[in-house]
Amino acid sequence: MKKVLVIFGGASSEHDVSCVSAKFVIENIPADKYQVMMLGITKNGEWFKYTGDTENLPEDKWTEDTENLTKAVLSPDSSCHGLIVFGKDGITTERIDVVFPVMHGKNGEDGTIQGLMQLAGIPYVGCDCASSAVCMDKTLTNTVADCAGIPQAKWIGVTEYEYSLDEDKILDKAEEYFGYPVFVKPANAGSSVGVTKVSSRETFKEAMATAFREDKKLVLEEGIIGKEVECAVMGNDVPVAGEVGELVPANEFYDFEAKYISDASQLFIPARLSPEKLEEVKKAACNAYKALGCSGLARVDFFVRESDGKVMLNEPNTLPGFTSISMYPKLMKAAGIDSADLLSRLIEYAEEKWSK
């Protein structure tokens, strides 16, 4: 039976979401096909092989289950092809067949851990190092999208250094280019952490400070009036789109609270669009997936502009949430692919991609 190592947690603002996602993934990987092992990374960056109950993953209870924690690391030495475990009886190695990195945000979705797995020579689920890095950094994503002719909102990239030289000049430029509202986003953060919708000059500087706490590079974007839709995509050379879902946020926009805390957000699957427009979104999702070099899986988010119906890229998510309320598994289920089948396919895509 093949061994699948699920890595979760991490030194990221999305650590807690990762732990909840990992619980869902571990409990839904078919036990008759795969032997699942767990490797948890604490918020401080410590790595442990975890052999306890998956019920302890949410709220970081696993870190308190010391009887089931053993120091371990994923070795970059490809001859090891797995874990180095620092047990009571000495150092051992455990071979891993496939890694499923159920990690979101910095240090998990940005190409860093993907690079480690590529050094280790271990097949892993999801986009490769380069694609993960490009899709995580909104300035790089937007630049590639512009070059590929993919419609998106008007945007400006700003570094902390540039902003420190003349704050008012940057804000003046944004006001002139966009008008209001303006979205202020860290270039490298997920789950809408650090994102603010700004409707006046008075709140602009505060929003910039909030975003700079998450990253030294920001993206400023025009506000788009229209529907927010998301499309699940999976596959390698020939991507396949799942269903398209529509979000009506509980808050002013789909921020962290609306995604993971409030149950007041509305979700429509399929999205309330014509059959022709749904197909247009699916095609656009697959096109963006290929242009950005994605493989394995991604959730590609769009706006459908109210004024003219134009489908505009919002952002890709290379390791979308896998909680019980997350869009990606819901959209695939609506397309006729249940969770066990979905996770099996993603593992198979990993083996297919890295066997070449």
CATH of domain 155-222: 3.30.1490.20
Q: Measured between alpha carbons, how far is 221 from 198 in angstroms, rounded to an integer?
A: 10
Q: Are 351 and 342 in contact (CB under 8 A)?
A: no
How far apart are alpha carbons 124 and 141 in whole angstroms? 22
pLDDT of residue 139: 96
Predicted confidence at residue 263, as pLDDT, reads 60
Q: Report pTM.
A: 0.91
> Are 2-124 and 134-151+225-354 the same fold in CATH?
no
User: Taking a C-beta distance cutoff of 8 angstroms, is the pair 327, 299 a contact?
Assistant: yes
| pLDDT for residue 78 | 94
Residue 279 and residue 285: Cα distance in Å, rounded?
10
**pLDDT value of position 69:** 98
Give the CATH number of domain 134-151+225-354; options: 3.30.950.10, 3.30.450.20, 3.30.470.20, 3.30.420.40: 3.30.470.20
Q: Are 337 and 166 in contact (CB under 8 A)?
A: no
**Reduced to 3 states, what is the DSSP secondary structure of residue 61?**
helix
* CA end-to-end distance (rounded Å), the chain: 22
* Arch. (CATH architecture) of 2-124: 3-Layer(aba) Sandwich (3.40)
Q: Delimit the domains of the chain by residue range.
A: 2-124, 134-151+225-354, 155-222
Q: What is the dihedral of CA 337, 340, 343, 349, to 10 degrees?
A: -70
Question: What are the beta bridge partners of residue 198?
Answer: 182
Burial 100-110 (b: 16+ CB within 10 A, else e): bbbbbbbbbbb
pLDDT value for 264: 65
Residues sharing a CB contact under 8 Å with residue 148, sequence separation 6 or more, in sequence order = 287, 288, 291
Dist CA 184 CA 244 (whole Å)? 26
CA distance 32 to 52: 20
Return the SS3 of 4.
strand
The reported pLDDT for the residue numbered 38 is 98
Residue reference for tokens 């749904």: 278
Q: Classify each residue of 7-27 as buried b or exposed e, where b means 16 or more C-beta atoms within 10 Å of its C-beta.
A: bbbbebbbbbbbbbbbbbbbe
DSSP 78: T
Residue whose entry in the numeric block shows the structure tokens 């032997």: 35
What pLDDT tens digit does each residue of the chain (356 aa) get?
Answer: 999 999 999 998 889 999 999 999 999 999 999 999 999 999 999 999 999 999 999 999 999 999 999 999 999 999 999 999 999 889 999 999 999 999 998 889 999 999 999 999 999 999 999 999 999 999 999 999 999 999 999 999 999 999 999 999 999 999 999 999 999 999 987 657 789 999 999 899 999 999 999 899 999 999 999 999 999 999 999 999 999 999 997 656 544 455 544 566 789 999 999 999 999 999 999 999 999 999 999 999 999 999 999 999 999 999 999 987 899 999 999 999 999 999 999 999 999 999 86
Sign, CA dihedral 125-126-131-137, equals: negative
